[in-house]
Chains A and B, each alone.
Chain A
Amino acid sequence: MKSERGISVTLDYVLMLSIATVVLASVIFASGHVIDAQVDRGVESEMTATGEALAAEFHTVDRLVHAGGSDTTVAVTVELPDHVSGTGYVITIDPDDRELRLRSEDPERTVTVPLRSGTLPSEQIEVSGGILLIEYSTETVEVTSK
Chain B
Amino acid sequence: MANVNPPPRERAQLILVSGLIIAVTLIVLVLLLNTTIYTENVATRGIGAEGGEAVNAKLSIEGDIESIVSKEESALEDNPGDDVADLKYRIETAADHTIQFVGDRARERGAIVEGDPEFTYGIDVERDDKEQVSTSATLAREVQHIESFSLDLSVTDTGSSDPTDSFEILLGDDWSAFVEADADGDVTVYDDQPTELCTISGADGSVTLNVTNEEMSADGSTVACEGLWDAGVDGPSELSVAPNEDEDAETAFAFVATGTTIEGGDDLDPEEWTPFVDETEIEFAYRSGSMEYRTTITIPGGAP
**Chain A residues at the B interface, C-beta cutoff of 8 Å:** 16, 20, 23-24, 27-28, 31, 34-35, 38-39, 41-42, 45-46, 49-50, 52-53, 56-57, 59-61, 63-64, 67-79, 81, 85
Contacts and interface: CB of A to CB of B under 8 A. Distances in A.
Given A63-B55, A72-B295, A28 B24 contact: yes
Chain A to chain B: the 6 pairs with minimum beta-carbon distance, closest first: A68-B295, A60-B51, A42-B35, A49-B43, A72-B295, A75-B292
Contacts of B51: 59-61, 63-64, 76
Given A41-B35, A56-B47, A34 B295 contact: no
Contacts of A59: 48, 51
Contacts of A46: 35, 38-39, 42
A113 to B, nearest CB: 12
20 contacts: A16-B13, A20-B17, A31-B27, A38-B31, A39-B31, A42-B35, A49-B39, A49-B43, A57-B47, A63-B55, A64-B55, A64-B293, A67-B295, A68-B284, A71-B296, A73-B293, A74-B294, A75-B292, A76-B290, A76-B291
B298 A60 contact: no
B50 A60 contact: yes
B40 to A, nearest CB: 8
Contacts of B58: 67-68
A50 B42 contact: yes
Given A71-B294, A76-B51, 10 more contacts: A20-B13, A20-B20, A38-B31, A53-B42, A53-B43, A64-B54, A67-B295, A75-B291, A76-B291, A77-B290
Contacts of B296: 68-72
B109 interface: no
B59 interface: yes
Nearest to B24: A27
Contacts of A74: 291-294
Given A45-B39, A63-B51, A73 B295 contact: yes
Interface of B: 13, 16-17, 20-21, 24, 27-28, 31-32, 35, 38-39, 42-43, 45, 47-48, 50-52, 54-55, 58-59, 284, 289-298
Given A49-B39, A59-B48, A24 B20 contact: yes
B47 A38 contact: no
B295 A42 contact: no
A69 B47 contact: no
Nearest to B294: A73
Contact of A42 (B27, B39, B43): B39
A74 B58 CA distance: 13
A45 B35 CA distance: 8
B42 A49 contact: yes
A20 B297 CA distance: 76
A60 B294 contact: no
Contacts of A63: 51-52, 55
A67 B55 CA distance: 7
